[in-house]
Chains A and B, each alone.
Chain A
Amino acid sequence: GENVEQHPSTLSVQEGDSAVIKCTYSDSASNYFPWYKQELGKGPQLIIDIRSNVGEKKDQRIAVTLNKTAKHFSLHITETQPEDSAVYFCAASISGTASKLTFGTGTRLQVTL
């Protein structure tokens, strides 16, 4: 089955700097890659997703890139703010099947003032 690895496990950046989180996946059939943000005591919230027919997607300060050949995808957050502090999870699934998500182990992002 699918295996998703995520790095780093923790990331500390200063406010205004950029943050990059990287994930790799094992199943070349995976074609849907969402990113979730989880704040303490809450469920994960979708922040951005990308499908395998595009290489990059951007939404304001958040962008995701996908390299299908290398089987890796990354989350980029620019101009980080304290409210960006949370745990971020990447995930992968195969669209058209059960669409169950396989998650990475998470990155705890801390944005310091």
Chain B
Amino acid sequence: GAGVSQSPSNKVTEKGKDVELRCDPISGHTALYWYRQSLGQGLEFLIYFQGNSAPDKSGLPSDRFSAERTGGSVSTLTIQRTQQEDSAVYLCASSPQPRGQSDTQYFGPGTRLTVL
């Protein structure tokens, strides 16, 4: 079946502009995660959605970052007033079960964001 998809695959923007990154999780997956991967680094947790529960935003680096998940499916990560340090690959993952029942996370291909 279809995996996690993300769009766009690449995004180049100017400093100060807002950007929106989209994630389509695997159908039926209730949990959705956003991570950030800076060049040559590991993955850094940003935010987590589980069903209708309040999202875990503990990883968001600043209030310029926000995310929403509509209808329990598609998610959008928004970065306002982008800075050069926001340049990274933004990865989305989804998980099939409610929390505690399965921890397997399936990742999308990522969106490479470059802020000039």
Residues of A within 8 A of B31 (CB): 99
Contact with A along B60-101 (1 / 0, CB 8 A): 000000000000000000000000000000010101000110
Q: How far is the CB of B53 from chain A (nearest CB, A)?
A: 10
Q: How far is the CB of A104 from chain B (nearest CB, A)?
A: 6
Q: How far is the CB of B56 from chain A (nearest CB, A)?
A: 5
Complex Cα–Cα for A32 and B99 (A): 13
CB within 8 Å for A95 and B103 given contacts A89-B42, A100-B33, A106-B42:
yes
- Which residues 67-91 in A have Cβ within 8 Å of B in the complex? 89, 91
Is the CB–CB distance between A99 and B99 below 8 Å?
A: yes
- Nearest CB to that of A89 among chain B residues? B42
Is the CB–CB distance between A99 and B42 below 8 Å?
A: no
Complex Cα–Cα for A108 and B98 (A): 33
Q: Is A98 an interface position by the 8 A CB rule?
A: yes
Complex Cα–Cα for A34 and B35 (A): 16
Contact with A along B13-44 (1 / 0, CB 8 A): 00000000000000000010101000011111
Contact with A along B98-116 (1 / 0, CB 8 A): 0110011111111000000
Is the CB–CB distance between B104 and A49 below 8 Å?
A: yes
Is the CB–CB distance between A96 and B99 below 8 Å?
A: yes
- Nearest CB to that of A104 among chain B residues? B42
Complex Cα–Cα for A103 and B42 (A): 6
The residue from A46, A49, A98, A102 contacting B50, defined by CB atoms under 8 A apart? A98
Residues of A within 8 A of B93 (CB): 43
Q: Is A93 an interface position by the 8 A CB rule?
A: yes
The residue from A44, A91, A99 contacting B95, defined by CB atoms under 8 A apart? A99
Residues of A within 8 A of B104 (CB): 34, 46, 49
Q: How far is the CB of A18 from chain B (nearest CB, A)?
A: 24
Nearest 7 A/B pairs, CB to CB: A43-B107, A96-B100, A103-B42, A103-B43, A105-B42, A100-B45, A32-B103
A residues at B contact (CB < 8 Å)? 4, 6, 32, 34, 36, 41-46, 49, 89, 91, 93, 95-106
